[in-house]
Chain A
Amino acid sequence: MPLPIGDTVGILADNLRIRKSVLPVSAESVSAWAKGLGLPRGGETILYTGRMYQLIPYIEALNKVQEKIEDSWIADFVKVGRVVNRFINVSGLLAVPPKSMRESCSRILANIARLLGQAGIEFGYLYEEDLYSGALVYDLGVDDVLEAHARRVVDVFKKYRVRNIITVDPHTTHMLRSVYPALIKGYNLQVKSYLEILAERDLKPRKELRLEAAIHDSCLYARHENVLQEQRTLLEKAGIDVREPAESGKFTFCCGGPAESLFPRKAKEYAKKRVDQIKKVSFRAVTMCPICLVNLQKAAGGEIQLEDISSYLVQAYCGG
C-alpha cells in the first residue's frame, strides 16, 4: 500500500505549524556549520540557508524509513502517526542521520561562506533564527500553514533590519524571491543566490582545476529563477570543462527529489534515469541543490562522483 497522502502531508504541515520546520532539527544543528567562523548575528545583508542543507541528512534518514513502510502493511499506521506527531515529535525520533552526512552538509555551507568572504562580501547570519522557508509545504499546497509561517520568517528579517538576502539553494531562493512577495504585503527584500553574487563580482580563480564534469541544473534555478549562466561561467573560469547531459539548461530533467516525501520508490526510479543521462557525458557531476545532490547520489550508488558545486568553487577560488 502506498503511503497515505493526506496523513503524510498532514504530518509535514503539522510539523511546520508547531515546530517551524517540516522535520524538526535542533537549533544547535542548524547553526553548527557556522561555529568558529565569527559571523555577526543579523545585519543589513545576511547569508540565509533556510535550513535546506541542514535538513537533508534528516530527510534522508526519514526516507529510508518511509521506503521500508511504503508498500507494507505498516503504511496504514501513518494515520495514527499524524495524531501522535502533534504531541510527540515522531518524525524527529525516526530520523537519526549519520554524523558523516551532517558533517558534509556543514562543510558545503562553510565553503559557501568562505567563497563570499573571498569575493569581499560582508554578511551576517541569523543562527538559530535562520528558519526553514516552508518550501515543501508550499509544493504540497498547504497554503494556509505556509502563509502563517512566511509571516514568522519575515518578522525575523524585520527584527534584524535585513534588506539583502543571500541564499544558498534554489528552493529557498524561489520561496523568498518569487513566492513570499505574493504572500506578504510590502515585502521588498532583495534576494540573490550566492552563485549570482559570485558571478557578478567577477572572482579570479587562485587555482585552475583542469577537469571535466557534467552539470545537473536545478529545475527551480533553470525554469523559475533564470539562474543558468552564472554556474557555467564560474565553473569554466575555474578550469572545468563543463559537459552538458541530454536535457540540460532551461530544459533540464528533474532529479526526482520532489516526489520523495510521498513516493520514495518513484523518486528513486526517476533519479536513476537522470544518472544514466549524466553517465553518458562524464563520470563526475556537479549539482547546486541539496535535494538533487542527495537524490542523485542515492540513485548513482557510487557509479558517478557527485559533488555540490561549492566544493569545486572553493578549491578553485579559495585555493583549496
Chain B
Amino acid sequence: MALVNPDFVEEVKRSDRFDASACMNCGVCSAVCPMGIELLPRKLFRYVLLGVKDKVLENVETIYSCFLCKLCEVNCPAQVHIAENVRFLRYYMNKKVFKI
C-alpha cells in the first residue's frame, strides 16, 4: 500500500517551480512521449500532488530518462510546464536522495 507523506507535499508545494495542479489527467502527454514514458508526467505528478513519496522515489530512473524535449508540453491542453516540473523532481532527488 502506498503511504501518503504530508511533509513531502508541503516540501514540494513550497517551491513555486513545481506546478502540475492544472493537469486534467487526460493522457495526451503519455500518448505522444517519444520515450514511451507512460508514467511521466501525469501519474508521477499525481503521486507528487498526493504526497505519495515512496512511489516517486521508486521511479528515479523514469524521472532521469525524460529528454526534456517538451513534445508532451506543446500538446498538453492544460499548458502544464511538464519539463520544468520534471527538472524540479530531479532537483529534489539530487538534494534529498543523492545529497549532491
Where the two chains meet, the residues of A that have a C-beta atom closer than 8 Å to any C-beta of B are: 2, 5-7, 9-10, 13, 138-143, 145, 219, 223-224, 250-251, 253-254, 256, 258-259, 262-263, 266, 270, 273
Separation of A91 and B92 alpha carbons in the complex (Å): 25
A/B pair count, beta carbons within 8 Å: 76
- In the assembled complex, the CB of B37 is this many whole angstroms from the nearest CB of chain A, namely 11
CB of B24 within 8 Å of the partner chain: no
How far, in Å, is A249 (CB) from chain B's closest CB? Answer: 11
Per the bound structure, the CA–CA distance linking A266 and B61 in Å amounts to 12
**A-B contact list, 5 entries, CB within 8 Å:** A141-B87, A141-B88, A143-B91, A219-B67, A254-B71
Query: Are A5 and B98 in contact, with the CB atoms below 8 A?
Result: yes
Interface: B50 (CB within 8 A): no
Interface string of B59-100 (1 = CB under 8 A from A): 011001101111101100000000000011111111001111
Assuming the A-B contacts A2-B61, A5-B61, are A258 and B69 also in contact, with contact meaning beta carbons closer than 8 angstroms in the complex? Answer: yes
Instruction: Write out the residue numbers on chain A whose beta carbons fall within 8 Å of the beta carbon of B98.
Output: 5-7, 9-10
Q: Does B35 contact A (CB under 8 A)?
A: yes
Knowing that A140-B90, A254-B34, A262-B64 touch, tell me 5 more A-B residue pairs with CB under 8 angstroms: A10-B98, A141-B89, A141-B91, A223-B71, A263-B61
| A142 engages B87 (CB within 8 Å) | no
Contacts of B64 in A (CB 8 A): 5, 9, 140, 262-263
Interface residues on B, range: 20 to 34
Q: How far is the CB of A31 from chain B (nearest CB, A)?
A: 30
**Which A-B residue pairs are the 7 nearest by beta carbons?**
A141-B90, A6-B98, A254-B69, A141-B91, A219-B69, A258-B67, A223-B70
Report the minimum CB–CB distance from B61 to chain A (whole Å): 7
> In the bound complex, do residue B65 and residue A262 qualify as a contact, i.e. CB atoms below 8 Å apart?
yes
Query: Taking CB as reference atom, which chain A residue is nearest B99?
Result: A6
Q: Enumerate chain A residues within 8 angstroms of B69, measured Cβ to Cβ.
A: 219, 223, 253-254, 258
Tell me what chain B mostly uses at the interface: helix, strand, loop, or mixed. Answer: helix
Whether A223 contacts B67 by the Cβ 8 Å rule is: no
- A142 contacts across to B, CB distance below 8 A: 91, 94, 100
Q: Chain A's nearest CB lies how many Å from the CB of B82?
A: 11
Q: Which of A5, A145, A262 has the most CB of B within 10 A?
A: A5
Residue of B69, B70, B97, B98 most packed against chain A (CB within 10 A): B69
How many whole Å from A223's CB to the nearest CB in chain B?
A: 4
Partner of A253, one of B71, B73, B74, B97: B71
Chain B residues with Cβ under 8 A from A143's Cβ? 91
Most buried by A among B64, B73, B74, B91: B64
The one of A9, A139, A273 that contacts B87, using a Cβ cutoff of 8 Å: A139
B34 contacts which chain A residues (CB < 8 A)?
253-254, 270, 273
Select one of B88, B91, B100 contacting A6, CB under 8 A. Answer: B100
Contact A141 B94, beta carbon cutoff 8 Å: yes
Q: What's the nearest-Cβ distance from chain B to residue A252, in Å?
A: 8
**What's the least CB distance linking A220 to chain B, in Å?**
9
- Chain B stretch 23-49: residues in CB contact (< 8 A) with chain A: 34-35
**In the bound complex, how far is the Cα of B93 from the Cα of A223, in angstroms?**
26
The contact of A270 among B35, B74, B87, B88, by CB within 8 Å, is B35
Nearest CB of A to B29, in Å: 14
A94 smallest CB distance to B (angstroms):
21
Q: Let me know if B74 and A223 touch, CB within 8 A.
A: yes
Q: Compute how far the CA of A51 lies from the CA of B50 in the bound complex, rounded to whole angstroms.
A: 42
